[in-house]
Amino acid sequence: MRGYLARKTLVYGLTFVVAVTLNWLIPRLMPGDPVQRMVARAAVQHPETIASMAAYYERTFGLDLPIWQQYLNYWAALFRGDLGTSVWLFPTPVSQVVLEAVPYTLGIMIPAIVLSFVVGNTVGAMAARSRWLDNVALPVGYLVTAMPYMWLAILLAWGLGVALGWFPVAGGYDFGLVPQWSWTFVADLLHHWVLPFLSLFLVSLGGWAIGMRNLIIYELESDYSNYLSALGAPRRLVRRYAFRNAMLPQITGLALQLGTVLGGALVTEIVFGYPGLGKLVLSAIQNQDFFLLQGTLLFVVIGVLVANFVIDIVYVLVDPRTRTGLTGATA
């Protein structure tokens, strides 16, 4: 088990370094100059003012140092939790802007992931070897998986939001309300939460169901299943063993799926104008606020790594082979 976790930690550490380096490097490959852009935005004509403004910004963002020192400074700042200053919401620190948006994204992502995983696996397990369910669930599952996240979100917003008027289609809460812990506000918050959650949940559902169905069929053909059936074990018992074995690849799949679901959450939020990280990414792109964009995405990368690690620990708990040092999961 120690070897397994050590190996995983090494991979995540390395991934973190690569991600941070990419995050630092890509902006510096960009044509154009953010400092020039910000100075231009101030729309001053006086050359001396422009020069001093440019110098100020360069110092603020540390662009006047040699490149290796910029890189080290980037790391140092990162460990202090300092992700720079937002240009769009100058002078709010990026970390503060991001932290305000994170609860909304987690609020739709975590329930959507957990529920779609549970429901999808259950439906998939039932569908396996049941001709009727299989014929219905399989094609529907494939079509749902093939849906672009934002399209389902658009359809829900249009159908349940605009046409039927059941749910609001913009914002995280009513613009007339002030965020506070009151019943009206929490109810309104939940009301706005339903559609983004639902669209993310539905798109994720199909993949789990199909995966589980295929895995169960595969497990039911394996030697241990045949042996159990040959001993005369009841069908339900065999299926229960198959289900437990099929869960392992599904948990690994959950870790791999995180990045995709996250991308889905970002575009879903954009459709609904939900005030999470997705909307932040969009505003950052539209306002050319690269510090905000980078900070947001770095935060996302860290989130994915942490979630991966949590899933690995769960895996150790459910798969005894990793504990005894046998090759359970590939690193």
Partner 1 sequence: MTATQPTTGPGTETADQAAVAAAPSGARAGGDLRETLYFALRNPKVLVGGVVVLGFLVLGLVGPSFLRYAPMDYAGPPMAPPSADFPLGTTTFGQDVFAQFVAGLRSTFLVGVLGGAVAAVIGMTIGFVAGYRGGLIDELLNMLTNVVLVIPGFVVLVILNAYLGVRSVPMQALYIGVFSWPWVARAVRSQTLSLRSRDFIDLARLSGVGVGTILRREVAPNMYSYLFMTFVLLFGGSILTAASLDFIGLGPTNAMSLGLMMNQAVQWSALHLGLWWWFVPPGLGITLIVGSLYIMNVGLDEVFNPKLRET
Shortest CB 169 distance to partner 1, Å? 7
Which H helix or E strand runs over 76? helix 67-79
Decide whether 35 or 248 has the Cβ nearer to partner 1: 248
Decide whether 238 or 258 has the Cβ nearer to partner 1: 258
Helices (H) and strands (E) in the chain, counts: 13, 0
Decide whether 187 or 285 has the Cβ nearer to partner 1: 285
Shortest CB 118 distance to partner 1, Å? 16
Burial class (CB in 10 A: 0-12, 13-18, 19+), 128: buried
Paired residues of 93 in beta bridges: 85
Please give the structure tokens belonging to residue 130: 């049941």
Shortest CB 136 distance to partner 1, Å? 14
Shortest CB 262 distance to partner 1, Å? 6
Shortest CB 312 distance to partner 1, Å? 11
Nearest residue to 39 via CA among 60, 23, 66, 14: 60
Decide whether 38 or 215 has the Cβ nearer to partner 1: 215
Phi, psi of 86 (to 5 degrees): -70, 135
Rounded-to-integer distance, Cα 319 and Cα 240, Å? 16
Decide whether 50 or 133 has the Cβ nearer to partner 1: 133
